[in-house]
Structure 1
Amino acid sequence: FYALLAPLTLFVITLFLNVPAAFALLLCVPLIPVSIVAVQKFAKKLLAKYWGQYTTLGDSFLENLQGLTTLKIYQADQARHEKMNEEAENFRKITMRVLIMQLNSISVMDLVAYGGAALGMLLGILAWRTHTMSLFRVLFLILIASEFFLPMRALGSFFHIAMNGQAAAEKLFTILETVSRVPGTGIPDSLDIEARNLGWEYEPGHPVLQDVSLHIKPGASIGIAGQSGSGKSTLAALIRGRLSDSGVTIGGVPVPDINPAWLQENLTVLDHHGFLFEGTIRDNLCLADPEAEDEQLVRAMKQAGINLPLDAPVRENGSNLSGGQRQRIALARALVKDAPVLILDEATSAVDAQSENAIMQAVKGLKDKTLIIISHRLVNLQDTGEILVLDHGRPAGCASHDSLLKASPAYASLWNAQQELERYGKESA
């Protein structure tokens, strides 16, 4: 409003001084917003590209920094360094283009502002030379001419700041306007887990699971087998409620409609990277139940096969412990929670064979829980009530180990291949 009203007010004043100069000054003022509009469409695209390059460079830097150890191990740090240099050069170029655009826009506005002021001053001086204006009026006109354009000139400067902010804010608004799933409020009346003709895809046209059906009764144990990438962990995530619109029901209630607090209380997941916090074993076990007595903690440790005192120190992520010890502590923590459903998602993939056998023995001793065991080693699933076999996301059999060996070629092939590898390993040793 100031940028619009100030030139109009000055126009009315200068009309009493010199009519041609007043109109000349007023007609030059709209040229500044016209130049802003002309630049706006180009500037919007350019600034969107600029912020896109900016965030890409930031993401690459963070990713390379976090994965620096891996890059060093595989001697790929130089290649990533060159790639990041290329991204930095692209960002430098787009930054220079933004600066050029801004400087050109400012130059046009300055040309209009100072040119218009000079035109008004020139008309005033010509009027003085023809004795149609007094010296006082000419001096007043010269002093006030530049004031015509200052408010609009300031508006042009704010325009560039606003365009920068708008381009950055659009990315924030995209996140803020994302509709988040409303947490469910349903409470199942049983722990019956069921899925019928379940399908799931992370990207349209690329299904991860197709036509998967299963029924897990309370207290039952089921194994999920299949090659890497067959959808085993995705199925576990659907049961846990980590993915929306799953089609899995617990007690007849769709998982997305179940109260998240109920799911957290009744389902416990043990994967291969359970994090251990700095402190003691007691501190880590009490995360599952802060009010647990030492007797309960010791019982869970015995079940998990841990021969360490409760006050044994634990460094960040268990860096002072072996892989087997870390995983057993994670299992003991899950046992302390004492949830009725325990999901093991490749829980033994990062430990040695002896620790793996000990952990699986402890798990199989849990007779009062519903067990869902996902393992790349079929030996770990051999004693479960049923084994669901997934082959490229599709079910390839769901029965006992012995039945699958006869009826499921996919399962038999996996089993025979693993047995042959283990025999070869024993002979080599």
Structure 2
Amino acid sequence: MTAISPDAVAPAAWLKAAGRPWRRLATAAGLLTVADVVPAIGFAAGLALAISNFQHGLIAAAPWLALAVLSLVSRAMIGQAAVVVGARLGRAVKTEVRGRLLADLFGRGLRSNDRLTALVEGIGALDGYYARFAPLRLAAALSPLLLIAAAAVASPVAAGVLLFTLFPFIVGMALAGTAAAGESRRQFQALERLSGLFIDRVRTLPAILAFDAVGRTTDQIAQASNELERRTARVMRIAFLSSGVLEFFSALSVALIAVYCGFNLLRLLPFPVPEALDLPRAFFVLALAPEVYQPLRRLAAAYHDRQAAEAAAPSVVTPAPVERPRAPLGDLAPAIRFRDVSVAYDGRTPVIRNFDLDVAPGQIVALTGASGAGKSSLLHLLLGLAPLSGGEVEIGAAKLGVDGDVAGRIAWASQQPIVVPGDLARNIALADPASCPGRVALAARTAGLTGDLDRRIDERGGGLSGGERRRLGLARALLKRAPILLLDEPTANLDPASEQAMIAVIARAARGRTTLIATHSPAVAALADRVVQL
């Protein structure tokens, strides 16, 4: 599905578009829900005729009792099939939307608290809409009219009463839905605020403990929780009120039919009517009357699912991708020039000040110095992860921050490479998803990753040793076709034998590329063409 701006489309239109690829499932679920009308009519007819034939004996009533029982069984089977198809529809839509959200989080880097909330709560809110509300909406539009048409065969007057009493029922549903829409959206916003606040406080827990801000943080979370509680209570209050109104109109309508049929059978109506009911027809109409309102009552019960989905829709819409210009960087190893460069985070004291360096094309430069001297910050600067607070950086013919983004043309291996759940081959292929399995296997062998590439790895790196995890980063760097290679402490905490094996892999990875290595290791520094002390 094409990514769109969250503000470019109404939630209802977005929900309709999200379900369009599974139109057949949606149609099947709706038709199964409408098909519930047939056994409902069969049950009412079988029951009415069985009662009228009891005076002739049980044998005369048996076929109609069998029809009623068969109708009940058929209705149960149709209902179960509608539930199964609706669940498949909801699962299919959720899987597709969740995949796009995960692509935003891990592919396009759109990481924020509201996106994380949408991934959990927002996706969950879509299930009720597609699994329950969408099929019931079609049934609510067609089933009452079909049932009224069936009732008209037995009693046109009763059918007219049923049709007339539908209007206040529908008006009540519309008013309840309008009142609940705004409250549902405000409730979901309160949930987003609480989730975002909780995630932020968990991330900054060491700072909270260090500055003795536990009490204030607890109060903030309590206030956000109370706000969510108030919003939820308002939504539930409207839901209960609307259910009460709808039940009142439903009971009133059935009572009118019961009074009409009873007085007609007794011939005590105070006004003339063009029909005289007998027991089978009166009982048939009376049995169908509750069924006329049943699809609408089910839709009203599922209406909150629609409001929840529409409230969550803006948060799960995939934003339109912002095209970032790529710097004019070719495939050949470029020169890199730092001119009077300074790097400062959030206006604080610069970690790097007035730094100058010329790196020749294809040269390997080792950046050494004490911890905190700014080695990693220089690498992050090229990746766009650190701010260029002063000076300029030239990469080939491009200027960093002026001529576009160069991060896509850089192969990067950090101290702790990111690991995603899946097999080892998939983790290596993150550097170049278009790579064929042969290239992935070659990169793994060159990096020294032996064994089965299909072995499972969890999100914490379970299944990989410390050395294998570093080799995973180097395998990605080998796989990516990039003219620049950046390595951050590639051999830290390794024993001498493992370090020498890793240095051989680094030499292969750096071949034909302009390479910057942040390191404390003299052995790695010896690999470099030039060593720069920070």
> TM-score of the superposition, structure 2-length normalised?
0.42
> Which has the larger share of strand?
1
> Which has the larger share of helix?
2
Larger Rg: 1
